[in-house]
Amino acid sequence: MKIAIIGTGYVGLVTGVCLADLGNSVVCYDIDKEKIKRLQVGKIPIYEPGLKKLLESLDSSKQKKGRIKPGKIIFTDDPKTAIEKSKLIFIAVGTPQKRNGEVDLSFAKSAAQTIGKFLNNYAVVVNKSTVPVGTGKLVKKIISKKYHGDFDIVSNPEFLKEGSAIEDFANPERIIIGAESQKARKIINRLYQSFNCPILNTSLETAEMIKYASNAFLATKISFINEIANVCERVDADVKEVATGMGLDSRIGKSFLEAGLGYGGSCFPKDIKALHNIALSNNYRFKLLKSVIQVNNDQRKLLVEKTKRILKNLNDKKICLWGLAFKPDTDDFRESAAIDLIRLFQKENARINAYDPQINYEEFVNRNNFKNKINFYSDKYTALKNCDALVITTEWNEFKKADLKKVKKILKKPVVVDGRNIYNLEKVKKLGFKYLNIGR
């Protein structure tokens, strides 16, 4: 099938590359001309394991515009090339949050307008972005103002996790298809026919809700275990073992029970607030979600308080942060715990050294309005020099494997504040560290 992808952000890019890999002819379109230029020469704007290699194997450079072969992908800033003759048109644009907490649908609306303008045959317009319930119908209305022929709308929410997106695409646990017509259902079911997982067919609205409900539930699990961790600290229990014990109950499940600094990233913080807001604007106070958000914010504050307590005060203290990404195996720092921690530490007049293996430091500073200068390093050990404490903010593998004897030698004081519980309690204590963690 010829498939158009509108938006080459995280979801659009991964979906496009993976659908081409399945044998479809894919055209990725974006309004960002610079991004498209870079993609045309194989430069990927994000770090995602396996994505570059897969894109290279699809060898898009030898393709002529508009005459794309099966199993190939091209990138264009020309909407006509992408939309015309496409059987499936995926909308994968950003849905950021407005200042008032509402979801900003301007990109989705403008994608719908573009589709309406260039559509010239029956197509299924598939929404992959996380959007408030009712957006599918809105997109339909916008398209039909410009295009009077036959087309259908489908909601097919995305559940990819950054860092394992290719793997997640190849092995989904479920595929959700919200559709209004049998014709559309048939086409999209055909696209996914080779997948060995349950395919749930629902209405548009239900599919849209499944995505929010899933993310909100996972975030609730994280805030729940963080609350348990805070109690564990007070009663000498170990939250890691508590989580293992809980997770063995198949009704609970072991995933998303890692206590730490709470959730970050481009999805959870935004989606949880959006769902809370959607409920409110429909006259319902989602009390549980309000607490989930509160607990998540507090986890960051608690860690700074702990560091302050052990160092007596933070004024002019030098803190080394290991990890700026919102989780390991990604170069994404959106809503990362590190950003909040830096702000909180700087408020207390602490000085910050930082190291992360994948983050573009310049971008990190430019996108966040920090009060004071941060010293960035290209080596994790050098970053520790003259520091009063090491704070672990992201559980990168290289931090788990770090030479702790070396860490102790370089640090001014042997203090490790582990926001992700990556070290063995006995081992670090034996090495002579003052070791603070979450819930152990």
Least spacing, CB of residue 335 vs ligand UDX, in Å: 8
| Residues composing the chain | 440
Q: Which is closer to ligand UDX, CB of 152 or CB of 258?
A: 258
The Cα–Cα gap between 319 and 347 comes to 13
Q: Which is closer to ligand UDX, CB of 263 or CB of 345?
A: 263
The Cα–Cα gap between 215 and 211 comes to 6
Q: Which is closer to ligand UDX, CB of 146 or CB of 254?
A: 254
Quote the tokens at residue 38. 């870079």
Rg (CA), the chain: 24
Which ranges in 85-134 belong to alpha helices (H)? 106-118
The Cα–Cα gap between 44 and 52 comes to 7
Q: Using the rule CB under 6 A, is 161 a contact of ligand UDX?
A: yes
The Cα–Cα gap between 325 and 247 comes to 26
Q: Which is closer to ligand UDX, CB of 195 or CB of 256?
A: 256
For tokens 């009077």, name the residue. Answer: 148
Other C-beta atoms within 10 Å of 187: how many? 20
Q: Which of 18, 28, 267, 320 is catalytic?
A: 267
Task: Give the list of residues 6+ apart from residue 370 with CB closer than 8 angstroms, or none.
Answer: 342, 343, 346
Q: What are φ and ψ of residue 296, in 5° steps? A: -60, -45
For tokens 């050990």, name the residue. Answer: 381
Task: Tell me whether residue 197 is one of the annotated catalytic residues.
Answer: no
Interface pick for ligand UDX out of 107, 118, 169, 326 (rule CB under 6 A): 326
> With CB under 6 A as the contact rule, which of the stretches 176-184, 250-258, 378-386, 401-409 interacts with ligand UDX?
250-258
Binders of ligand UDX among 258-297, rule CB under 6 A? 258, 260, 262-265, 267-268
Q: Per-residue string for binding with ligand UDX, 190-229, x by CB under 6 A?
A: -------------------------x--x---x-------
Q: Using the rule CB under 6 A, is 174 a contact of ligand UDX?
A: no
Q: Using the rule CB under 6 A, is 256 a contact of ligand UDX?
A: yes
Binders of ligand UDX among 141-160, rule CB under 6 A? 158-160
Closest of 301, 235, 232 to residue 262, by C-alpha: 301
Q: Using the rule CB under 6 A, is 327 a contact of ligand UDX?
A: yes
- Active-site residue list: 267
Provide the binding-site residues for ligand UDX, judged by CB under 6 A. Answer: 158-162, 215, 218, 222, 256-258, 260, 262-265, 267-268, 326-327
